[in-house]
Structure 1
Amino acid sequence: MRTYSTRIFCIAALALGLVATSPAMASEMWGRVGHYVTGEIARQHLSDDVLATVEDVLGEESLVEATTWMDRVRPTDAFRHTADWHWVTIPPDTTYDQAHKNPNGDIIEALERKIAALKAGGLDAETEREHLKMVIHMIGDIHQPLHVGTGEDRGGNDVRVCWLGDQSNLHRVWDTGMLVSWSDDYETWANAINLATDEQVAAWQQATVRRWAEESVSYRDAVYDLPENHEIGWTYRNENMHIVEKRLLQAGVRIAGVLTEIYGEG
């Protein structure tokens, strides 16, 4: 049970701006649990032949494990240039085509480019493996609504909140807090939400990368619907958990669809 003093401390921390956004908070990107959920759902939607090909390309890591690779290598010198490929800014009432483009690239540009390169083939084994790991990770990221940001608060990282009585920020709540408030077991999550109909799977897999981003934009009003004191908990969670569930499911289904387009026959 949260004590009254804990609640007061959290309110004071918000007022004084003590909840600083650390690099670790800013780089969780659905968190391990969320990405593993997308990988497990994708695995369940792949044919045995395509899954075998994918895991042969991946090498030592399974499809599920590889979903977090892009976050793990992001701080290294070799992959620091990919930092801006986890997100994109599309301000309100603006389309991606109209939005100012990041000269370092963004998640839409990088996804479209990496998917095209994998479909074209001819890559050496190491490059193909890296492209594949990036694609499965970025598909997960683009389905988290705050990875398609407004350009005002670093995708919610600068929005300080009290989440279930603890100091946090809005981005971290959506990356991790909402998920682990129910379960931190990715298989439990995947098995509970992997209920898409054949018609839904077909429709979701036909949508383009840019459509995925537009869907995330459509959820931002709900994400930012916060009380004045920015104290959020079970009510906020329960009102918005359906978004988390749907976006994780769509991401997993779409990872499977893209991988089938790349490695399937015909």
Structure 2
Amino acid sequence: MKYFLAFLIFSQTLLASDDWGQNGHRTVGETAENYLKSRVSKKIDRILNGQSIADASTYADEIKSDRAYDEYKPWHYANIPFDQTYAEAEKNPKGDIVFGIEECISKLKSNKLNKEQEQFYLKMLIHLVGDMHQPLHFGLKEDKGANDFKVKWFYNPTNLHSVWDTKMIESYNMSYTELSASLPELSKSEVQSIKSGTLLDWVEESRALTQEVYNSAEADENLSYRYMYDWFNVAQLQMKKAGIRLAVILNDIYS
């Protein structure tokens, strides 16, 4: 039994590295809670049986180890050529991150879900909005969203996707509560600007950053302190935006 538990923990750690990592997603969830309307926060607390949004945020990665949920794996990303918008690009017939977010919102607004179904789609939505702000979730199909873009992180072999998922966050060496508290302070006008726009506006904003991130490194380059200095503040702002926009969506669904 102990070997099975060790394997399960190890497997979930690997799966969690697919996007923002556990600390990144929990930071998004913790941030969202600060922007929820009081009555919305109470409704979500009841739906999740007291589990925090931060704790619920990693669920969509954890279920990847269960083949019964394989149909939801394409919901975590969308591969789009740089010379096309999401609206113009050919869509994955199995769905993608935009489809997944829209489907979750539609289900949660339908008032046709039982408690278990509502928990599922709420947890999926929490996670996917975080994914949408990790720019390499809109990476190129040919390199699997920069998973095949090989680089080094402090001389250790890795890939550019992993640098943005976990390596920078791990190097910052903070818990998700500490990381949440360290996110940039924003003015009311800055917060309002982040809240404005549509889902597709937010997607295209992330995609513009995707291209910048692809240009931020060369194949097999060793990335270290300078890369952290240049880009970690961008990752922090993306997590902040994700939390604010998640709250916008949840306030709209549950108000």
TM-score if structure 2 supplies the norm length? 0.89
- The amino acid of 2:228's aligned partner reads R
Match of 1:252 in 2: 243
* Distance in 1 between residues matched to 2:29 and 2:250, nearest whole Å: 11
- The amino acid of 1:214's aligned partner reads E
* Distance in 2 between residues matched to 1:229 and 1:82, nearest whole Å: 32
Query: Structure 1 unaligned runs (5+)?
Result: 1-22
When residues 158 and 226 of structure 1 are mapped into structure 2, their CA distance, relative to the original with a 3 A threshold, is same
* Distance in 2 between residues matched to 1:146 and 1:258, nearest whole Å: 22
State whether structure 2 residue 39 is matched by structure 1 residue 54: no
- TM-superposition CA deviations, 1:59-97 (whole Å, max 9, x none): 253211000000001221221110100000111110112
- The amino acid of 2:246's aligned partner reads I
Spell out the pairing of 1:11-30 with structure 2 (5 A cutoff).
24=14, 28-30=18-20
Q: Retained in 1: the 8 A contact 2:17–2:166?
A: no
- The amino acid of 1:246's aligned partner reads L
Point out the structure with max Rg over C-alpha.
1
Q: Normalized per residue, which structure has more helix?
A: 2
State whether structure 2 residue 21 is matched by structure 1 residue 31: yes
* Distance in 1 between residues matched to 2:190 and 2:118, nearest whole Å: 30
Q: Retained in 1: the 8 A contact 2:136–2:210?
A: yes
* Distance in 1 between residues matched to 2:17 and 2:181, nearest whole Å: 26
State whether structure 2 residue 55 is matched by structure 1 residue 65: yes
**How many residues are treated as equivalent by the alignment?**
242
Q: How many Å apart are 1:129 and its aligned residue?
A: 0.9
Spell out the pairing of 1:168-247 with structure 2 (5 A cutoff).
168-193=158-183, 195-224=185-214, 225-227=216-218, 229-247=220-238
RMSD: 1.8
- TM-superposition CA deviations, 1:143-179 (whole Å, max 9, x none): 0000011222111111111101212111111001111
More displaced 10-residue stretch of structure 1: 212-221 or 127-136? 212-221
Q: Retained in 2: the 8 A contact 1:222–1:240?
A: no
Q: SS in structure 1 opposite 2:143? A: coil
Q: Retained in 2: the 8 A contact 1:74–1:83?
A: yes
Q: How many Å apart are 1:241 and its aligned residue?
A: 1.5
When residues 86 and 125 of structure 1 are mapped into structure 2, their CA distance, relative to the original with a 3 A threshold, is same
* Distance in 1 between residues matched to 2:51 and 2:16, nearest whole Å: 25
TM-score if structure 1 supplies the norm length? 0.86
* Distance in 2 between residues matched to 1:182 and 1:93, nearest whole Å: 34
Match of 1:163 in 2: 153
Q: How many Å apart are 1:28 and its aligned residue?
A: 2.3
Identity among equivalent positions (%) equals 35
Match of 1:151 in 2: 141
* Distance in 1 between residues matched to 2:17 and 2:175, nearest whole Å: 20
Q: Retained in 2: the 8 A contact 1:119–1:261?
A: no
Q: How many Å apart are 1:201 and its aligned residue?
A: 2.3
- TM-superposition CA deviations, 1:26-82 (whole Å, max 9, x none): 952100000010001011112332212112111253211000000001221221110
Instruction: Report runs of 4+ in structure 1 exceeding 4 Å deviation.
Output: none
* Distance in 1 between residues matched to 2:219 and 2:151, nearest whole Å: 10
- The amino acid of 1:241's aligned partner reads F
Q: SS in structure 1 opposite 2:91? A: coil
* Distance in 1 between residues matched to 2:85 and 2:50, nearest whole Å: 40
When residues 56 and 162 of structure 1 are mapped into structure 2, their CA distance, relative to the original with a 3 A threshold, is same
* Distance in 1 between residues matched to 2:67 and 2:148, nearest whole Å: 26
Q: Retained in 2: the 8 A contact 1:26–1:172?
A: no
- TM-superposition CA deviations, 1:110-147 (whole Å, max 9, x none): 11121122123232111111110010100000100000
* Distance in 2 between residues matched to 1:67 and 1:227, nearest whole Å: 32
